[in-house]
Homo-oligomer: A and B are copies of this chain.
Amino acid sequence: CTREAVTSLIVKIGEDWIFLTLLGVIMALLSFLMDYVIGKCQTARQWMFEELEFSVAAQFITWILFPFVFICFSTGFVHIVGSNAIGSGIPEMKTILRGVVLKEYLTFRTLVSKVVGLCTSLGCGLPVGKEGPFVHVASIVASLLGKFLTSFKGIYDNESRSSEMLAAACAVGVACTFAAPIGGVLFSIEVTATYFAVRNYWRGFYSAVCGAFVFRLLAIWFKDEETLTALFKTSLRQDFPFDIAELLSFAIIGIVCGFAGALFVYTHRKFVEFIRKQKKVSSFLQRNRFIFPGVVSTLIMSFLFPPGLGQFMAGQLTNHDAVNELFSNFTWSLRNPDSAYEEEILDHWEGPLGNVYVSLVLFMTMRFWMTAVSITLPVPAGVFMPVFTIGAAFGRLMGECMAVWFPGGLGGHVVVPGGYAIVGAAALSGSVTHTISTSVIVFELTGQMGHVLPCVIAVLISNAVATALTPSIYDSLIQIKKLPYLPDIINPDAINAHRIFVDSFMVRDLEFLSSDSTYAEARDLLQRFRFRAFPLIDTRDNMILLGSIQRNELLRMLDDQLTLPSKVAYFEKRNTQLLPDDTTGGATGQGPPPVRSDSVLSGGSQRFAVNRVQSSNGETESERETEDSRHVQFKTTLDLSLLTPEEEELWENAQLNREIDYEAYQIDPAPFQLVEKTSLYKVHSLFSLLSLNHAYVTNTGRLVGIVSLKEVRSAIQGYTMSSANRKASMATT
Contact = CB atoms under 8 A, between A and B. Distances in A.
Contact of A453 (B212, B443, B456, B538): B212
A453 B213 contact: yes
A702 interface: yes
A641 interface: no
A18 interface: no
Contacts of A209: 453, 456-457, 460
Interface in A221-250: 226-230, 238-244
A20 B449 CA distance: 25
A101 interface: no
Interface string A183-206: 000100110011111110110011
Nearest to A180: B452
Given A244-B228, A702-B701, A202 B682 contact: no
A448 interface: yes
B453 A228 contact: yes
A670 interface: yes
Interface string A662-685: 000000011001111111001001
A193 to B, nearest CB: 5
A440 B196 CA distance: 19
A701 B542 CA distance: 11
Given A670-B677, A689-B689, A701-B698, A240 B226 contact: yes
A201 B181 CA distance: 19
A201 to B, nearest CB: 7
Contacts of A228: 242, 244, 453
A197 B689 CA distance: 9
A449 B444 contact: yes
Nearest to A190: B198
A389 to B, nearest CB: 21
A238 B701 contact: no
A700 interface: yes
A450 interface: yes
A460 B212 CA distance: 14
Given A182-B456, A213-B457, A460-B206, A198 B195 contact: yes
A546 interface: yes
Interface residues of A, number: 75
Interface string A425-439: 000000000001001
Contacts of A674: 670
A233 to B, nearest CB: 9
B195 A197 contact: yes
A675 B682 contact: no
A59 interface: no
Q: Which of A182, A199, A446, A488 has the most CB of B within 10 A?
A: A182
Interface string A460-486: 100110000000000000000000000
A686 B695 CA distance: 15
B198 A197 contact: no
Given A244-B217, A670-B674, A546 B700 contact: yes
Given A244-B228, A670-B677, A670-B682, A689 B195 contact: yes
A37 interface: no
A194 B205 contact: no
A98 interface: no
A451 to B, nearest CB: 10
B456 A205 contact: yes
A690 B682 CA distance: 10
A9 interface: no
A83 to B, nearest CB: 30
A132 B462 CA distance: 32
A189 B193 CA distance: 15
A544 interface: yes
A545 interface: yes
15 contacts: A181-B452, A190-B201, A195-B689, A209-B457, A227-B242, A229-B239, A230-B449, A444-B449, A446-B449, A447-B449, A447-B450, A449-B449, A669-B675, A670-B674, A698-B701
**3 residue pairs, one from A and one from B, having the closest CB atoms:** A701-B701, A669-B677, A670-B678
Interface of A: 181-182, 186, 189-190, 193-199, 201-202, 205-206, 209, 212-213, 216-217, 220, 226-230, 238-244, 411, 436, 439-440, 443-444, 446-450, 452-453, 456-457, 460, 463-464, 488, 538, 544-546, 669-670, 673-679, 682, 685-686, 689-690, 698, 700-702
Given A205-B456, A213-B453, A546-B700, 19 more contacts: A182-B439, A190-B198, A190-B201, A193-B198, A194-B197, A202-B460, A202-B463, A202-B464, A205-B460, A209-B460, A212-B453, A213-B457, A227-B240, A227-B244, A228-B244, A443-B449, A449-B449, A670-B678, A686-B690
